[in-house]
Amino acid sequence: MRRTYIDRVFEYYQQKDDDLDLEMSDSGFMTNAGGEEVQTNTEGGEMATKRLLIIDDESSIRNYFFRLFSRHGFDVLTAPNAMEANELLVREKVDVVFLDIKMDEVEGDVLFELLRAFHHNVKVVVSSVYPIEEQKERIKDADAYFDKSDGQDVLLGMVSALVN
DSSP 30-89: EE-TTS-EE----GGGS--SSEEEEE-S-HHHHHHHHHHHHHTT-EEEEESSHHHHHHHH
The DSSP bridge pattern shows strands 37-38 and 30-31 to be antiparallel
Least confident window among 56-60, 126-130, 132-136 = 126-130
- Mean pLDDT, to the nearest integer, of 133-137? 89
Domains for the chain: give ranges and CATH numbers. Answer: 2-163 (3.40.50.2300)
Q: Residue 73: is its pLDDT beyond 80?
A: yes
Burial of 114 (0-12, 13-18, 19+ CB in 10 A): buried
Q: Which residues contact 4 (CB under 8 A, 6 or more apart)?
A: none
Q: Tens digit of pLDDT for each residue in 14-67?
A: 444 343 343 433 333 444 444 444 444 444 444 447 999 999 988 888 898 999
Q: Residue 99: is its pLDDT beyond 80?
A: yes
